Amino acid sequence: MKSKGIFETKRKDNSTYYRVSIYVNKKHISLGSFDIFEDAVTCYDSANKILDDAEHLFTPDNYDSALKISFEKYIVLLNYRDNKLYIANPIYLKPNFFEYYITKDTILKFDKDDLFYYSDKKISKRGNHYYCHEYGLQININDRYGIPPYAVIGRDYIFKNGDTTDYRYSNIEIVNKYHGVSKVNKKGKIVYEVKVHVNGYLKVGDYKDEITAAIAYNKACDILSKNADKGFISNYPDINPKEYATIYSEIQIPRKFYDL
């Protein structure tokens, strides 16, 4: 049995399967492999119907598994049909941003400036976090947007429009940049509260700016580390070493930290 775009091949155990691909403007697009020849034919025919769909009857919302095309490949074809750009990942370009389909119902949104980065990155979800696969490693995409690994959504960072899948830069606000530092409103005044976790939270103090607060956290941790074998995450404020040393020396840490 032969059909255009369908290639019969053998596995190591000598069983037969069928690889399906199409060529569009000299671009090779692989569509998948099938054990059943008729499924391969359906896949090939469906791909051509999608690409020839001038009336846009096929949309991301009306995917049908009967097409025998994976959802990821379906999005790839829709994007090629509408934007004339082949991207191997399930990305669909919009006028001012793009969508990355994790599943049909989970769609991340990014600025177009990020297209080059994500066009060849596979994104997956684990728990409540999204990861890129890069050089065999899983990298939390929050890192790309300055969200610290210890950050808690709603406390340390927020999505301004309430959509936690919208990773456009204008939608992400870092509230608390440093470990152990929380921006709080106390009687109408914004202060930066510092706490260290040692058998519960110990308050270090309130500070007028987040850099001083970050250094206060570091100093409190340094004191605790001298008296016990404890490991703490350090903050790295963006100031020169001389400024850091001056602020560090001037900060007064409560007596209780020396006694632990």
Please provide the DSSP assignment of the chain as one string: --BTTEEEEE-TTS-EEEEEEEEETTEEEEEEEESSHHHHHHHHHHHHHHHT-TT----GGG--GGG---HHHHHHHHHHHHHS---SSSEEE-SSEEEEESSSS-EEEEEGGGHHHHTT-EEEEETTEEEEEETTEEEEGGGGGT--TT--BTTTEEETTS-TTB--GGGEEES--STTEEEEEETTEEEEEEEEESSSEEEEEEESSHHHHHHHHHHHHHHHHHHS----PPP--SS-HHHHHHHHHHPPPPTHHHH-
pLDDT of amino acid 228: 66
Residue by residue, pLDDT tens for the chain (260 residues) are 456 889 999 999 999 999 999 988 888 899 999 999 999 999 999 999 999 999 999 999 999 999 999 999 999 999 999 999 999 999 999 999 999 999 999 999 999 999 999 999 999 998 888 999 877 788 999 999 989 888 889 989 999 999 999 999 999 999 998 999 999 999 899 999 999 988 889 999 999 999 999 999 999 999 998 876 677 889 999 999 999 999 999 999 999 888 87
pLDDT computed for residue 212 by the predictor: 97
**Whole-number pLDDT of residue 153:** 92
Residue 211: predicted pLDDT = 96
pLDDT of residue 232: 85
